[in-house]
């Protein structure tokens, strides 16, 4: 792959970085990232991955844009209200960077389609807004040997971790199953500061860029927690291995994908 003069200018700030350079930029242009959820987390993640020149970005979401989304879901605009989120996101990405191929999945992500959906992608971004989908993303990536970045936000707080096969615990190693129904308030019920979505979603994009280019340390084996009210970060070391994990432990009980009962979430 030879970068054009326009690409050399577009990505000049990347190319100047010794950790990225031309070689790293070519890796980004050849990479494929799937974002599940074009909401608070998926919106900034998609914008920064598109700006970075990730060659193929997949967007999976069944919802349409609502007025209440616009406080934090920056990939959508007022003119996009009632449009499918995947179409609104595709239009924004194409307007930002014509180098990017966008693939859209205007469908519910479920145990029947997620394995095929993630198959061709190098990295998965978990921008889901409910616990069952988050656990499903984890299970599909563990069984499919795919790396992904989990994140969640609520009120003024956010958290994220990255899973790489064979290099650290998965989401179920830490949280074995979704919480009981109504045990955790939803974003609609408890609220969320819009900028929190931007902070955490952008960090998911950064994890994807580091994974693709092979630079820096990923959040494998760690949960990063941010308290926006106190402006405090806390990095929690996770167990290196959970022998009793139901999907990646010594005697897994989850060997095929299934759909958890629907519950609220932290996004």
Domains and CATH numbers, the chain: 13-237 (3.40.50.720)
pTM above threshold 0.85: yes
What would the two tokens of residue 64 be? 């349409």
Summarised one tens digit per residue, pLDDT across range 54-81 is 999 999 999 999 999 999 999 999 999 9
Along the 267 residues of the chain, how does pLDDT read in single tens digits? 899 999 999 999 999 999 999 999 999 999 999 999 999 999 999 999 999 999 999 999 999 999 999 999 999 999 999 999 999 999 999 999 999 999 999 999 999 999 999 999 999 999 998 999 999 999 999 999 999 999 999 999 999 999 999 999 999 999 988 887 777 767 777 889 999 999 999 999 999 999 999 999 999 999 999 999 999 999 999 998 899 999 999 999 999 999 987 655 545
Neighbours of 19 (CB within 10 A): 11
Alpha-carbon distances, residue 151 vs 154, 215, 251 (angstroms): 11, 21, 27
Is the CB of residue 223 less than 8 Å from the CB of residue 151? no
Is the CB of residue 124 less than 8 Å from the CB of residue 212? no
Strand order in the sheet with 157-163: 101-105, 56-60, 32-36, 123-126, 147-154, 157-163, 222-227, 232-237
User: Exposed/middle/buried for 182, CB within 10 Å: 0-12, 13-18, 19+?
Assistant: exposed
What would the two tokens of residue 260 be? 């958890």
What would the two tokens of residue 149 be? 């970045």
């Amino acid at each position: 792959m030879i970068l054009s003069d326009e690409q050399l200018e577009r990505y000049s700030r990347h190319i100047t970085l010794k950790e990225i350079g031309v070689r790293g930029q070519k890796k980004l242009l050849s990479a494929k990232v799937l974002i599940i959820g074009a909401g608070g987390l998926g919106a900034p993640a998609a914008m920064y991955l598109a700006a970075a020149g990730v060659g193929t970005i997949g967007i999976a979401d069944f919802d349409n844009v609502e007025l209440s989304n616009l406080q934090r879901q920056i990939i959508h605009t007022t003119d996009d209200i009632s449009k499918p989120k995947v179409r609104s996101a595709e239009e924004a990405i194409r307007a930002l960077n014509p180098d990017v191929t966008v693939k859209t999945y205007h469908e519910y992500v479920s145990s029947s389609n997620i394995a095929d959906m993630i198959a061709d992608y190098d990295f998965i971004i978990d921008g889901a807004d409910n616990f069952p989908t988050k656990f499903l993303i984890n299970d599909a990536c563990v069984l499919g040997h795919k790396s992904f970045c989990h994140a969640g936000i609520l009120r003024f707080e956010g958290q994220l971790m990255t899973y790489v096969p064979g290099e650290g615990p998965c989401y179920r190693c830490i949280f074995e199953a979704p919480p009981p129904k109504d045990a955790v308030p939803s974003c609609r019920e408890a609220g969320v500061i819009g900028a929190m979505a931007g902070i955490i979603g952008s960090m998911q994009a950064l994890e994807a860029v580091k994974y693709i280019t092979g630079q820096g340390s990923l959040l494998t084996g760690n949960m990063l927690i941010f308290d926006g009210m106190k402006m405090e970060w806390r990095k929690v070391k996770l167990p290196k291995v959970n022998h009793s994990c139901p999907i990646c432990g010594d005697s897994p009980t989850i060997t095929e994908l299934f759909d958890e009962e629907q519950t609220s979430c932290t996004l």
